[in-house]
């Protein structure tokens, strides 16, 4: 006899996958009052995720953020299983499996069999178009993207992605759920990489490009911090994992049906394939991480990326990092991937670490001056490559003296 969730009410949620994102989403739901069922291939695998949740909760308890009673209550609201049939008692199902179309499709199709007819099902994918995943389902109108950010228990943003057939009711339920678990949602339309991933990767990509050009790693990192980012682009690449960034790049190209080679591709290939340096979680990446010591830039980095005799101006390094993300954000706005100026700004600060005192990517342009920003983009394009060419929308707004309006 299958044990059903202890609480068979509208506040029950199923999570597919118990890895970094799965157990993070489960934690966020449980502390917000939801009863959670976390499903993985084996109960042992699911238990590993459960123990990660317990570790986060124990830290909160030790710091006095929650009482012993609250700790026990939250723990009692989380169950684990390897049996999809238990999803019958849940109102919301969120898939949080690694980025593989076939694996995700199989899990979603199985979960849909047990989905509450008045509920919805979502994917935490960061790159695969929602409409492609939805095409494999019987009721695509009940399917939506809910892209969380790592670590989920600290990051406030949720990117809500509408597929071609996502119903307004499903969108409303998804937004309500995001608010119930104390997250800030932004709404975007379907596209490979959506909004946040497309804009995010430009920062590490530009850092890698400058490294390949012969600019000192320390100059690149200092420019990132000077611009107002929490960390430099190379340190960020290590934290996210260089190999994972490469996979994200390939996924977006695959679904965008583009096959262009860019300077950063060579850097990723060299670091991951040739040097086996994928980042902090592996043997190190652009940095070394000695035990009980501060991280430092890998001593052999200059051997593989020789330094130019004359570096480019520091202002150019700063501008290249900032403009790379802003231009991609404008392109997303132009293509209706994101339709709200406010959401574009909020998403860039809460999800991407864009300098918070700027007001966000599009507000930065308003303050910089539309015409001046366009002219600076043209300068960067001439000196450093066509990726800095202003989108048509930017040129038109500069010509007509318009600004990005939040209302």
Q: β-pairing, 287-288 with 296-297?
A: antiparallel
Distances, alpha carbon 283 to alpha carbons 15, 56, 231, 304, in Å: 31, 26, 20, 17
- β-sheet bridge partners, residue 288: 296
Give the residue among 221, 332, 333 at the shortest CA–CA distance from 286: 221
CA–CA gap between residue 33 and residue 146 (Å, rounded): 19
CA–CA gap between residue 217 and residue 201 (Å, rounded): 18
Mark whether 147 is an active-site residue. yes
| End-to-end CA separation in angstroms for the chain | 55
CA–CA gap between residue 98 and residue 241 (Å, rounded): 14
Give the residue among 256, 221, 230 at the shortest CA–CA distance from 331: 256
Distances, alpha carbon 49 to alpha carbons 25, 38, 80, in Å: 11, 8, 9
Q: Is 68 exposed, middle or buried (0-12, 13-18, 19+ CB in 10 A)?
A: exposed
Catalytic residue among 23, 35, 82, 147: 147
Please identify every residue annotated as catalytic: 147
């Amino acid at each position: 006899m299958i044990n059903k969730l202890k609480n068979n009410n509208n506040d029950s949620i199923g999570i597919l996958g118990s890895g970094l994102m799965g157990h993070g989403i489960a934690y966020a739901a449980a502390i917000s009052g939801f009863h959670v069922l976390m499903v993985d291939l084996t109960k042992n695998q699911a238990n590993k995720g459960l123990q990660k949740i317990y570790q986060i909760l124990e830290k909160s308890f030790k710091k006095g953020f929650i009482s012993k009673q609250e700790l026990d209550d939250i723990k009692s609201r989380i169950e684990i299983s390897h049996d999809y049939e238990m999803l019958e008692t849940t109102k919301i199902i969120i898939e949080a499996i690694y980025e593989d179309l076939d694996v995700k499709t199989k899990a979603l199709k199985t979960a849909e069999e047990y989905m509450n007819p008045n509920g919805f099902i979502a994917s935490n994918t960061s790159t695969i178009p929602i409409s492609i995943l939805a095409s494999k389902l019987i009721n695509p109108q009940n399917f939506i993207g809910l892209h969380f950010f790592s670590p989920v228990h600290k990051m406030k943003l949720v990117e809500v992605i509408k597929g071609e057939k996502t119903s307004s009711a499903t969108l409303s339920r998804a937004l309500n759920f995001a608010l119930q678990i104390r997250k800030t949602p932004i709404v975007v339309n379907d596209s490979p990489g959506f909004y946040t991933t497309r804009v995010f990767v430009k920062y590490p990509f530009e850092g890698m490009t400058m490294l390949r050009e012969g600019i000192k790693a320390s100059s690149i990192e200092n420019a990132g911090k000077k611009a107002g980012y929490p960390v430099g682009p190379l340190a960020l690449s290590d934290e996210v994992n260089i190999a994972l960034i490469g996979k994200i790049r390939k996924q977006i190209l695959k679904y965008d049906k583009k096959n262009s080679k860019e300077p950063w591709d060579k850097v990723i290939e060299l670091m991951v394939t040739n040097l086996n340096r994928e980042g902090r979680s592996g043997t190190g990446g652009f940095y070394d991480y000695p035990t009980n010591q501060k991280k430092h830039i890998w001593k052999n980095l200059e051997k593989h990326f020789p330094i130019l005799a004359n570096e480019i101006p520091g202002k150019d390094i700063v501008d290249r990092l900032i403009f790379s993300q802003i231009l991609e954000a404008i392109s997303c706005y132009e293509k209706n991937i994101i339709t709200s100026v406010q959401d574009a700004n909020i998403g860039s600060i809460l999800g991407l670490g864009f300098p918070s005192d700027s007001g966000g990517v599009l507000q930065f342009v308003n303050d910089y001056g539309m015409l001046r920003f366009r002219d600076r983009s043209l300068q960067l394009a001439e000196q450093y490559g066509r990726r800095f060419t202003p989108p048509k929308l930017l040129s038109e707004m500069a010509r007509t003296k318009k600004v990005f309006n939040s209302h």
